[in-house]
Amino acid sequence: MTISRTSIAVAALLALCACSGGPKGDIGLIDTVRIQQNWPKFLNYQNQLSADAAALQRSGASNAQKAKESAQLQQRFTQAQNELTGEVTDAAKQVAANRGLKYVFTRQYVGYGGVDVTADVEKILKIEEKATPTP
């Protein structure tokens, strides 16, 4: 079970941010894939939930017990998703206010245009981008 990238992207970053005196119509873009790949908190939740789901599948527990544990796992997934979404949304709102942006969207849903604010969001979330290995 992995945290759905689409649901995080849609829920977290399609939030409309109030314009703070900046020019009208400015749009910020966030690369959610990059954030997911580099954010230790996201990766930790993803790895833990995946490991727990795999352990549940392998367990010899009864179907009733598996159903109960599966429901608990789904609840943990939802809590993690809400927590991560809230943090990204708060960071996006802060960046929008600082830069005078009217909207912040995910890069994955915008064909062109906009200002990439991914690095600003990563800075607020204390994410360090992993170095890309050279071939």
CATH of domain 5-124: 3.30.910.20
What per-residue confidence (pLDDT) applies to 17? 36
What per-residue confidence (pLDDT) applies to 113? 87
Task: Give the mean model confidence (pLDDT) for residues 76-98.
Answer: 96
For residue 103, give the 3-state DSSP assignment: strand
State pLDDT tens for residues 18-71. Answer: 333 444 459 999 999 999 999 999 999 999 999 999 999 898 888 899 899 999
The domain limits of the chain are: 5-124
State pLDDT tens for residues 88-133. Answer: 999 999 999 999 999 999 998 888 889 999 999 999 999 987 655 5
Dist CA 15 CA 62 (whole Å): 43
Dist CA 107 CA 33 (whole Å): 9
Dist CA 67 CA 135 (whole Å): 46
